[in-house]
Amino acid sequence: MIDLRSDTVTRPTAAMRKAMYAADVGDDVYGEDRVMNKLQDQVAGLLGKEAGLFIPSGTMSNQLAIRSQTQPGDEVICDYNAHIFNYEGGGPALLSGVQLHPLNGDHGILDPAEIRSAFRPTDHHYAQTRLIALENTHNRAGGVVYPLIMIEAVAKLARGQGILMHLDGARLMNAVIASGIDPAAYAEPFNSVSLCLSKGLGAPVGSVLVGDADLIEQAHRFRKLFGGGMRQVGSLAAAGLYALENNIERLADDHQRAKELAKTCLDLGVLENDLAWTQTNIVIMNFPKGDTAYLETKFRAEGLLVSVVNDHRIRLVTHLDFNDEQLVQTKQLLKKVLG
Ligand SMILES: Cc1ncc(COP(=O)(O)O)c(C=O)c1O
């Protein structure tokens, strides 16, 4: 089977497992896991922030960022297709008591003027706009890289109103590799950034939330409260450190392979947008007839696993466990099923 459902399906390589096996572990709830402390510091350093906190998942990391920076009754602005709005189980309402205010982005990119007009007046009728959450790269838009200039325009508006900024940077390193922009420059406009280690970077588990020391202290408290305090996590931290050292530059290969797949999809008339929108490791196919469930079973029968986004969109995601030989096979298979 060739599995292109997500970049989360990768398995730790032998070298990563060796690093995990060799990790010296301690009780992280006491702050005594040295490898974990090193990972948290390293990610904070990479993203130019004071402190970092390891979180079991990207979802929990986003939710902790929201919980730590809002009060019940506040409002959080995000894109209509944002992960926090679509795929996190209604967490903001349940865990933080906030309401999301989704706006219609263009391929996940929000218009600063629209954000400006979404700010609530300081009047007792309204929920108070407390946080803006952006996503880079944007998953549902198809791995689109959020232009830094657009982020900076939003941050300027937010700062002027005392509104905080969170980045769901589950795939931030894909944006870094695709754009050549420094990770810390991408993180700078944000109060908090969540980076996933378990997606393109190939670690089995974990995200790191970074921000200033006070914010991370708050998030640490809420991580405990949500039941996310973990004990001997050094082996997971070792996987994360290995991923940061070995699996960032190679994301360019995933992007190249996605581009190749996108070209085949374009030739077959099923690529959702033009090629320029396949910017990282995600390819979106579009089927106006709404037959994606049927196509998914056809692909599966031919040995390809894909992700059905909805009744007219199918997603392919390239990753560490997808090589050139499989790329050739996948292109043939797409032609066979869709040609
Ligand atoms: C953009 C984005 N944010 C957050 C997450 C959540 O990560 P996790 O699956 O680790 O909870 C995902 C997962 O695919 C994602 O694509």
> To the nearest whole percent, how much of the chain has pLDDT over 90?
99
Residue 199's beta-bridge partner residues? none
CA 243 – CA 264 distance, rounded (Å)? 30
Give the model's pLDDT for residue 206: 97
The tens digit of pLDDT for each residue in 225-274 reads 999 999 999 999 999 999 999 999 999 999 999 999 999 999 999 999 99
Task: Determine how β-strand 164-169 pairs with β-strand 282-286.
Answer: unpaired
Q: How remote is the CA of residue 218 from the centroid of ligand 1, in Å?
A: 22
Mean pLDDT of 48-77: 98
Pocket of ligand 1 from Cβ distances under 6 Å: 57-59, 62, 83, 135, 139, 168, 170, 196, 198
- Nearest-atom index, ligand 1, CA of 206: 10
Q: Whose CA is nearest to atom 5 of ligand 1?
A: 58
Q: What is the pLDDT of residue 268?
A: 98
Q: Which of 174, 199, 309 to probe ligand 1 with, by most ligand atoms within 8 A of CB?
A: 199
58 CA from centroid of ligand 1 (Å) = 5
Q: Read off the pLDDT band of 276 (50, 70, 90).
A: very high
Question: d(Cα 256, Cα 254) in Å, to the nearest integer?
Answer: 5
Q: What pLDDT score was predicted for residue 290?
A: 87
pLDDT digits (tens, 9 = 90+) for 106-149: 999 999 999 999 999 999 999 999 999 999 999 999 999 999 99
Same fold? 14-246, 251-338: no
- Compute the distance from residue 106 Cα to the ligand 1 centre, in Å: 20
Whats the size of the chain, residue-wise? 339
% of the chain surpassing 70 pLDDT: 100
> Confidence band (pLDDT; 50, 70, 90) for 289?
confident
The answer, yes or no, to whether residue 27 has pLDDT greater than 90, is yes
Read off the pLDDT of each residue in 51-59 and give the average, rounded to a whole number: 98
Specify the CATH class of 251-338 in words: alpha beta
The Cα–Cα gap between 70 and 173 comes to 27
Give the Å distance between the CA of 170 and the centre of ligand 1.
6
Q: What mean pLDDT comes out for the span 296-306?
A: 98
Rounded distance, CA 42 to CA 197, Å? 13
> At 62, is the secondary structure helix, strand, or coil?
helix
| Averaged confidence pLDDT in the chain | 97
Residue ranges covered by each domain of the chain:
14-246, 251-338
DSSP per-residue string spanning 68-114:
HH--TTEEEEEETT-HHHHSSTTHIIIII--EEEEE--BTTBPPHHH
Q: Give the pTM.
A: 0.98
Asked if CATH classification 3.40.640.10 holds for the domain at 14-246, the reply, yes or no, is yes
282 membership: H or E segment, kind and range: strand 282-286
What mean pLDDT comes out for the span 62-82? 98
Residue 18 corresponds to which amino acid? Answer: K
Task: Convert the pLDDT of each residue in 146-199 to its tens digit.
Answer: 999 999 999 999 999 999 999 999 999 999 999 999 999 999 999 999 999 999
